[in-house]
Amino acid sequence: MVYQSAIAEGTTSDIGVRSFDAEGALIFQDNIDKTKKRLLTNPRISASSACSNELIVYEDYNELIKRNDLGSYYLGDPCKFALNILKSGDGSGNVLSEPSGIDCGTSCTSEFGDGEKVTLTAIPDESSLFGGFAGTQCADESVCYVIMDSSKSVDANFILKEFQITTIVNGTGGKILPENPVVKYGKDITFTFLPDNGYEVEDVMVDGNSVGTASEYTLQDVREEHTIAATFRENQISYTVTATASDGGTITPKGDVKVKSGESIKFTMTPDKGYYLKYLEVDGIMIAAQEEYTFENVSSDHSIYARFEPYLDEWEIDGGLNEDAINADEKSSITEVKNEKESGCGCTFIE
């Protein structure tokens, strides 16, 4: 809006002020007295407690130079608008303004004049990346320009840095958990080295340096990418399984049998003629008879004992039993039929 004075040269009477729009049409005409105070005759432009961006331009007669001087003042205090910075995300950083006022950081709100151009600059901390501004037209830039024609809020997004941890198994025999994780800045992460059955950890390397044969390793305060490598080998640890049997049969294998950790071993029980397997005793606990027994995934010493019993305590009939007629599956009764060759007597024995 343009204002011009209508005062005559050399006069000290009230100043007539006329206001024109952009096309030159007269909007209003009003007076300012010689003390440069507006005469509040037009409520549309009268001063109030509210801010105003109406600029009055006036002339006043200068006695020294004998001509009119131009002056101006706002109707009320010039308008100012608040700019508020909001920070989001799991990262951290600062936002500065030019002109000064925003240092967020600590001061995230400031007032700027109407129409003022404010430059915002985002500065992420060492731990973070800047994710962009929201609420403005420069969302993906680290420097943003805001025209203050109203109160505004701008969101600045800071993202915590992330780092790739590469896990490598040299050869076979196990795995590393977790596998190839992504870790946020400053966080800890623990890796577990899991050998397959029959294998053990031979070596663990962190960024090319050996850290021994531990089953776990923790990266602390991660601030860069790392590489974790593990090598496994066939298990060198072995355990003893002691296998024994009573008279009347055999257990195979027998004696003190060495078994590598994680491996399995099967034992077979075979009764002699005239005997049957009555029960097994595994690690001191009696279990039902079975022709085979397997220790799975051995991780400690064990014992196994096979108890055999005769079908009959003592039979001697005409030179002994007809052993070919004994059924090994019958554990409680035996029927023996033997034809007497010399006397012709047929005899049946039942126990």
Question: Could you say which of 216, 234, 252 is where a domain stops?
Answer: 234
Q: What is the pLDDT of residue 286?
A: 97
Q: What is the pLDDT of residue 339?
A: 35
Residues 213 and 244 in one domain: no
Q: Decide: 317 and 348 in contact? Cβ < 8 Å.
A: no
Question: Could you say which of 39, 56, 74 is where a domain stops?
Answer: 74
Residues 85 and 151 in one domain: yes
Q: 51-55, 191-195, 260-264 — which one is most confidently predicted on average?
A: 191-195
> What single-letter DSSP state applies at residue 38?
B
Residues 269 and 212 in one domain: no
Residues 228 and 242 in one domain: no
Q: What is the pLDDT of residue 260?
A: 84
Q: Decide: 165 and 219 in contact? Cβ < 8 Å.
A: yes
Tell me which residue range forms the domain holding 331. Answer: 316-351
Instruction: Over range 336-341, report the average pLDDT.
Output: 35
Q: Is the pLDDT of residue 249 over 80?
A: yes
Q: What is the pLDDT of residue 312?
A: 77
CA distance 73 to 71: 7
Residues 170 and 144 in one domain: no
Question: Could you say which of 107, 129, 160 is where a domain stops?
Answer: 160
Q: 51-60, 135-144, 219-228 — which one is most confidently predicted on average?
A: 219-228
Residues 88 and 67 in one domain: no
Model pTM? 0.53
Query: In which band, very low, low, confident or very high, does the pLDDT at 237 lie, cut at 50, 70 and 90?
Result: confident
Domain count along the chain: 5
Residues 131 and 88 in one domain: yes
CA distance 188 to 226: 12
Helix (H, G, I), strand (E, B) or coil at 324: helix
Q: What is the pLDDT of residue 36?
A: 44
Cα distances (angstroms) measured from residue 311 to each of 255, 273, 288, 306, 330: 26, 9, 17, 16, 9
Residues 12 and 69 in one domain: yes
Residues 124 and 142 in one domain: yes
Q: Which of 206, 203, 233 is nearest to 218 (CA)?
A: 206
Sign of the CA dihedral 107, 109, 115, 120? positive
Q: Is the pLDDT of residue 136 over 90?
A: no
Q: Decide: 93 and 122 in contact? Cβ < 8 Å.
A: yes
